[in-house]
Amino acid sequence: MNRVLRTAVFATLLAPALALVAQASEPANVKELQKARHDHYHELGDSFKVIRDQIKNDQPDLAAIKTAAKVVNDAAATQEKWFPAGSGPEAGKTQAKAEIWTKPAEFKTAMTNFANAAPKLQTAANSGNVAAIKTAFADTGKTCKGCHETFRAEEH
């Protein structure tokens, strides 16, 4: 057999095997991605709870608020990476609705709104001004609600 023919036969036999390996490993990666996204949002929710609970106190723990606000701001800065194609409901159980991928411009606007509000929350937290924290917290929370209504399914 000449070299070209051997290479063609080898490539023909190897391609399906490589495709099977890729398919077998892909779901694990998507599942890991979905879990990481879920974990990020739980951490984000926990941080919002810390801030909410503290601003209700007569003597809020400003250090706890600062720490939580940093988590919120960091999440806002990285959230776009949490939604690659193929990681939605078609890949398994997730709270991420298909609308994230079918209405990408709307979803990007919702993420941008959150990304614009979160630094203001962190700035307010760093200032120690409780009134400013309350205002920034409410404004940031509204951006979360706006996204949840369209792009997030109920807890599974």
Q: Any binding-site annotation on 40? A: no
Q: Any binding-site annotation on 147? A: yes
Q: Any binding-site annotation on 144? A: yes
Q: 99 to each of 27, 38, 127, how far by Cα in Å?
A: 21, 17, 37
Q: How far apart are CA 70 and CA 63, in angstroms?
A: 11
Q: How far apart are CA 138 and CA 55, in angstroms?
A: 11
Could you tell me the two tokens for 65? Answer: 């608020």
∠ CA 112-65-109 to the nearest 5 degrees? 5
Q: Amino acid identity of 26? A: E
Cross-strand pairs, 152:
96
Q: By CB neighbour count within 10 A (0-12 exposed, 13-18 middle, 19+ buried), where does 94 fall?
A: buried
- The annotation places the binding site at 144, 147-148
- The annotation places the binding site for heme c at 144, 147-148
